[in-house]
Structure 1
Amino acid sequence: MKKVVLVTGASGYLGGRLCHALLNQGYFVKAFVRKTSDLSSLPPPTDGGSLQLVYGDVTDYPSLLEAFSGCHIVFHAAALVEPWIPDPSKFPSVNVGGLRNVLKAYKETNSVEKIVYTSSFFALGPTDGHIGDETQVHPAKFFCTEYEKSKAIADKIALEAATEGVPIVPVYPGVIYGPGKVTTGNVVSLLLVERFNGRLPGYLGAEKGFSFSHVDDVVQGHIAAMNKGRVGERYLLTGENASFKDVFDLAAIITNTGKPRFRIPLLLVEAYGWLSVLFSRITGKLPLISPPTVYVLRHQWAYTCEKAKLELDYNPRSLKEGLTEVLPWLKSLGLIKYY
């Protein structure tokens, strides 16, 4: 019998790619989406096919409980992923409340064998001066963004649930990039579009490291966590540690275009961020860069994924390999130009 897998956040950047991979591996997928969701990243459901759209919201418990019915595996990938929004109360509502609802629904459903929870490197906190691993606990003294704060709180809830017997495996992707939706969840693609269109003429911020994860590697890491992940164990699904300067330099080499010639001071970026927030409040369109983005750029977020390599056979590609795929893809969409 085909295992039934529920994916929350199925219409998102990561969730959509995860649904495709699960369908390719022969699972029956219930894609949990909102009525207002953009479903362009999902294959169209067919009568009697392996994909079923289930409408609801992680903040709406009855709809989530109904979606759990008959499921064997749950991937909880739904999250509000933004550095800044006008109403910050939505972060705890979706990212903390949503996880609480998932755990509550598990307790009321008999069929669920495992929950793979998509956390974030932000839940572990910055790694200024060192390379972080799964033992790192967020110091919680300060948070660069409300998103970071909500994911750190949710992380504690997930780990507590595991000690109470919930079969949950938390995974922690890095800065996800790759083909798929060009949204805030795919910030590398957004910045490359700005760079190649001349709107980002210099290097962004300080020379700080981030851990870059290709979306398809993260998807395979999720599936491996379902099959091999130990309950209550954390797994970093990160990749190569590099800076955004490295990203821009590699992009220039791959496309045979010029590298930026100067670094944009963070104070200038922050001032631009405040203006963008002001503009956003007028237009209703979320800014690409806001002050919380700058707070993130002031820190290092570098991690090792050795544990996932060892236990999950996680095998992330290099940043150069990933960008060699992403740049022609962005060009094919007409989002960037180079010759």
Structure 2
Amino acid sequence: MKVIVTGASGYLGGRLCHKLLERGHSVRALVRPSSDLSSLPPPSSGSLELVYGDVTDYHSLLSAISGCHVVFHAAALVEPWLPDPSDFFSVNVGGLKNVLRAIRETNTVEKLIYTSSSFFALGPTDGDVADETQFHHEKFFCTEYEKSKAAADKIALQAAQQEGLPVLLLYPGVIYGPGKLTAGNVVARMIIERFNGRLPGYIGAGTDRYSFSHVDDVVDGHIGALYKGRIGERYLLTGENASFKHVFDVAAVLTHTQRPKFNIPLWLIEVYGWVSILGSRVTGKLPLISPPTVYVLRHQWAYSCEKAKQELDYSPRSLKEGLEEVLPWLKNLGLIKY
């Protein structure tokens, strides 16, 4: 089976390519000329083909998809804040539109597995544990990224339900684990800040709630979707629902270090975020924490993955099991000490 992965050089995409190759598939990896290819196996490995292009460049995308049977659309722009928010829509919405257009113009694609990048496309849950029946309320958006993913979600569903295109949708939680330290690997980045003293306390009151997904579990969920996923369906590839306070507490227990002794109020973190944005305009480096990050922290994002467990054999590990792997990995890289 000829498979193409968009966003193949990314945090999730690279590990997905490895797993597909292990399963014996012929993989075409769509990467940009400027992409860091360190997370991909070398093309000389035999079944991996590198194709240079961009999801925002339709002609390069059409050429890349031609002849493929399955498309894993994992390319996305994942940042809490960007100087130009239109970039989110160019990549996350425009890129999806280009993929759908390319599929319409080819006659080989049997399944498009669209990674909605995170459950932000479905919106906050605020006190509930939601499932695939939830749709974004669109009353407000914490980030422009969230807004772009909600818009793309509607486009993908319309293509599947109204046009009959072979689309199924996957919604990972907050992805964490070993691999690239991108903006998407927010847990690892927060742990680095915590252990290096730049984040000395808990974030807010600890009432935030997210669904944490180990990257390798999410990859396995994608493989399950390839073999067992039903066209037109949505699957949450989420995991344990917990707060970042719980993440820090578990990390302290596992490393035999002290837990934070105080909470940093969100209003103070928001002020720090605005200062970080001002600094980023000078340095050109994107801030770790920005005001949109704080807006997200004011809500809860708790989801159930029961449907994926039943239909895709999805089996997420606990947060403790995941951190038992992440913490030594960061220590071996010299990024934290304990």
TM over 0.5: yes
Q: Residue 246 of structure 1 aligns to a residue in which SS?
A: helix
Can you list the C-alpha shifts for 1:154-184, whole angstroms capped at 9, x where unaligned? 0000000001111111000000000000111
Is 1:172 aligned with 2:183?
Answer: no
Residue number in structure 2 paired with 1:240? 240
Is 1:300 aligned with 2:300?
Answer: yes
Which whole-Å CA distance do the structure 1 matches of 2:65 and 2:132 have between them? 29
Residue number in structure 2 paired with 1:128? 126
Shift of 1:129: 1.4
CA RMSD of aligned residues (A): 0.7
Which whole-Å CA distance do the structure 2 matches of 1:331 and 1:169 have between them? 38
Q: Residue 169 of structure 1 aligns to a residue in which SS?
A: strand
Residue number in structure 2 paired with 1:287? 287
Shift of 1:298: 0.2
Residue number in structure 1 paired with 2:332? 332
Which whole-Å CA distance do the structure 2 matches of 1:21 and 1:335 have between them? 27
Q: Which amino acid aligns with 2:299?
A: H
Can you list the C-alpha shifts for 1:43-62, whole angstroms capped at 9, x where unaligned? 11117x11111000000000
Residue number in structure 2 paired with 1:315? 315
Can you list the C-alpha shifts for 1:7-53, whole angstroms capped at 9, x where unaligned? 00001000011011111111111110000111111111117x11111
Q: Residue 43 of structure 2 aligns to a residue in which SS?
A: coil
Residue number in structure 1 paired with 2:183? 184
Which whole-Å CA distance do the structure 1 matches of 2:59 and 2:154 have between them? 24
Q: Which amino acid aligns with 1:123?
A: A
2:81 to 81, 84, 97: 84
Q: Residue 101 of structure 1 aligns to a residue in which SS?
A: helix
In the alignment, structure 1 segments of 5+ residues that lack a partner are none
Which whole-Å CA distance do the structure 1 matches of 2:41 and 2:82 have between them? 29
Residue number in structure 1 paired with 2:160? 162
Deviates more, 1:145-154 or 1:223-232: 223-232
Which whole-Å CA distance do the structure 1 matches of 2:61 and 2:182 have between them? 25
Q: How does 1:103-142 map to 2 (within 5 A)?
A: 103-119=100-116, 120-142=118-140
Q: How does 1:34-113 map to 2 (within 5 A)?
A: 34-46=32-44, 49-113=46-110
Which whole-Å CA distance do the structure 1 matches of 2:328 and 2:120 have between them? 29
In the alignment, structure 2 segments of 5+ residues that lack a partner are none
Q: Which amino acid aligns with 1:333?
A: L
Structure 1 outlier segments of 4+, above 6 Å: none
Deviates more, 1:37-46 or 1:232-241: 37-46
Per the normalisation by structure 2, the TM-score is 0.98
Which whole-Å CA distance do the structure 2 matches of 1:114 and 1:213 have between them? 24
Q: Residue 159 of structure 1 aligns to a residue in which SS?
A: helix
Is 1:153 aligned with 2:151?
Answer: yes
Residue number in structure 1 paired with 2:17? 19
Shift of 1:134: 0.3
Which whole-Å CA distance do the structure 2 matches of 1:310 and 1:170 have between them? 16
Shift of 1:321: 0.3
Per the normalisation by structure 1, the TM-score is 0.98
Shift of 1:330: 0.5
Give the number of equivalent residue pairs.
335
Residue number in structure 2 paired with 1:211? 211
Q: Residue 17 of structure 1 aligns to a residue in which SS?
A: helix
Which whole-Å CA distance do the structure 1 matches of 2:27 and 2:71 have between them? 10
Which whole-Å CA distance do the structure 2 matches of 1:331 and 1:143 have between them? 36
Which whole-Å CA distance do the structure 2 matches of 1:14 and 1:231 have between them? 22
Q: Residue 16 of structure 2 aligns to a residue in which SS?
A: helix
Which whole-Å CA distance do the structure 2 matches of 1:37 and 1:24 have between them? 23
Which whole-Å CA distance do the structure 2 matches of 1:108 and 1:46 have between them? 30
Residue number in structure 1 paired with 2:256? 256
Shift of 1:316: 0.2
Shift of 1:70: 1.1
Residue number in structure 1 paired with 2:193? 194
Q: Which amino acid aligns with 1:274?
A: W
Can you list the C-alpha shifts for 1:287-309, whole angstroms capped at 9, x where unaligned? 00000000000000000000000
Can you list the C-alpha shifts for 1:212-236, whole angstroms capped at 9, x where unaligned? 0000000000111111111111000
Q: Which amino acid aligns with 2:319?
A: L
